[in-house]
Amino acid sequence: MNKLKLSAVALALLGTTAVYAGNHASGHNHDHGGAKAAKEIPAASTELADGEIRKINKSTGKITVKHGEIKSVEMPPMTMVFGVADKAMLDGLNEGDKVKFNVKQEGSNYTVTEIKKAQ
C-alpha cells in the first residue's frame, strides 16, 4: 500500500513539473497573471525590429541586415544573413535602406517573415 501511495505522489509531482515546464518553455519573462500573461506573448512576437540592409541576394533569397534587438527571437543587435519567406519580399529594397522587419526561428535558421522600409 505504501508503494502505491508513493507512486501516486510521484506521478502527481511529475505532472506538476511537466505543466510548469510547458508554461515556461517559451523563455519569455512574464508574470503569472492569467489573461494578462497570455496577451504579452503575442505582443512581443509581432514587434518589428529596426535594421539597415547591408546586402541583398535576390537569386538565393538572402539578405544581410545590421539590426537592433529582435525581441520575437530574443536576438541581440548584430549583423546577420537571413533567408526570406518569399523572394518577392526583396523587391523594392536596396542596400543601405533602413527597414523594420520580423523574423521567425526554425531550428538554427532565421527567416524574415515581414519587412518594410522604415519611415
What is the pTM (predicted TM-score) of this model?
A: 0.62
User: Mean pLDDT, the chain, as a whole number?
Assistant: 76
Instruction: Verify that 95 and 53 share a domain, yes or no.
Output: yes
Residue 70, Cβ density class (10 Å: 0-12 exposed, 13-18 middle, ≥19 buried):
buried
Task: Pick the range with the lowest mean pLDDT from 35-39, 71-75, 108-112.
Answer: 35-39
Half-sphere exposure of 101 (CA within 13 A, CB side): 27
In this predicted structure, what is the pLDDT of residue 39? 34
Give the count of domains, the chain.
2
Q: Is 72 or 8 the better-scoring residue by pLDDT?
A: 72
Buried b or exposed e, range 92-112, using 16+ CB within 10 angstroms: ebeeebebbbbbeeeeeebeb
Instruction: Verify that 87 and 72 share a domain, yes or no.
Output: yes
- The mean pLDDT value for 60-81 works out to 96
Task: Select from 30, 45, 60 the last residue of a domain.
Answer: 45
Residue 73 belongs to domain spanning: 48-117
Instruction: Verify that 30 and 52 share a domain, yes or no.
Output: no
CATH code for position 68 = 2.40.50.320
Instruction: Verify that 31 and 53 share a domain, yes or no.
Output: no
**Which value, to the nearest 10 degrees, does the dihedral of the CA atoms of residues 31, 33, 34, 36 take?**
-80
In this predicted structure, what is the pLDDT of residue 16? 40
* Sign of the CA dihedral running 23, 84, 114, 95: positive
Instruction: Verify that 37 and 69 share a domain, yes or no.
Output: no
Spatial separation of the C-alpha atoms in residues 86 and 3, rounded to whole Å: 58
Instruction: Verify that 33 and 61 share a domain, yes or no.
Output: no
